[in-house]
Amino acid sequence: MALTQTAFVVRSLRRKFPSLEIETVTLQTAGDKITNVPLAQIGSKGVFIKEIEDALLQGKIDLAVHSLKDLTTDLPQGLALGAALKREDPRDCLVSKRYKSLVSLPEGARVGTSALRRGAQILALRPNLRVQNLRGNLDTRLRKLKEGNYDAIVIAHAGVKRLYGASRDPELNFSVVPYSQILPAVGQGILAIEIRKSDPEAETLVRSLNDPGSYRAALAERAFLRQCEGGCQVPIGVRTRIVGKRIEMEGVIASLEGKNVVRRSAGGSILSPEDVGVRLAEKILSCGGREILETIRS
């Protein structure tokens, strides 16, 4: 997936700057290497990006391409979010050989996911399902499903679209999960380009790829997560819409077993996206979200 995303950015830059020389550098992160335990057990902060950010700070690379949901809310000193590309569908996707929705799964069905956020919201909707850990790249996850290790798996729809497009395995059902059932991760569906603050040339290049709406949504959602003091392995979800000159957000914090769920909305000016994110976080935290997070952290 990382190579597919990077190749997309490279093609986009070459269309804008045909004479630009670009070299792709492949790096492995801790998250890539450790695939046999849940992410929550190995520590989520920067697990998919630390080695890449180190290379960026050391000048070994000039641009870093990430899934925005993998970026920590507070970037290392000297680095900045240079651009957010136009957002792909941020919803999650249920994949199964037999079933087409979470509500159609039989009692006791095994559902694989790598995210506490998904697991908590799945159990809130269907407490009689068995949520099980699922790691590995997208091909590996689909293979494990086909081998019968799970009755269904839940993954990011954006990843499916970017990697497979319309060429999906005909033996499997791919069904988008509605927002009413699962809210996405912060930044899900957005490709982010990280740069050094001291590199104006790189900033000029990547800004040509920036999508203003996606960038504002990124700022709002990252402010929401920062205010909640959460990370990618905390059961926090969010949906952001830009309607005219307003940003409308809906967020959720859920307990791990899905028994306690706080879901609220907030909106505000498109010119102050971070204020909207902070206001949403404060509303959810004050309505019980803070107690849920404290219980999880303890």
What are the residue numbers of the active site? 70
Between CA 208 and CA 222, with CA 193 as vertex, the angle to 5 degrees is 110
Return all residues near 43 (Cβ < 8 A) that are at least 6 apart.
Answer: none
Tokens of 247: 């940003």
Phi, psi of 179 (to 5 degrees): -60, -30
Q: What is the number of helices (H) and of strands (E) in the chain?
A: 11, 11
Rg (CA), the chain: 19
Classify each residue of 139-160 as buried b or exposed e, where b means 16 or more C-beta atoms within 10 Å of its C-beta: eebbebbeeeebbbbbbbbbbb
Record the tokens describing residue 214, joined without a space. Answer: 């996606």
The sign of the torsion formed by the CA atoms of 16, 22, 24, 30 equals: negative
User: How far is 166 from 257, CA to CA, in rounded Å?
Assistant: 35
Beta bridge partners of 174: 95
Q: In what order do the strands lie in the sheet with 152-156?
A: 130-133, 110-113, 152-156, 92-96, 173-176
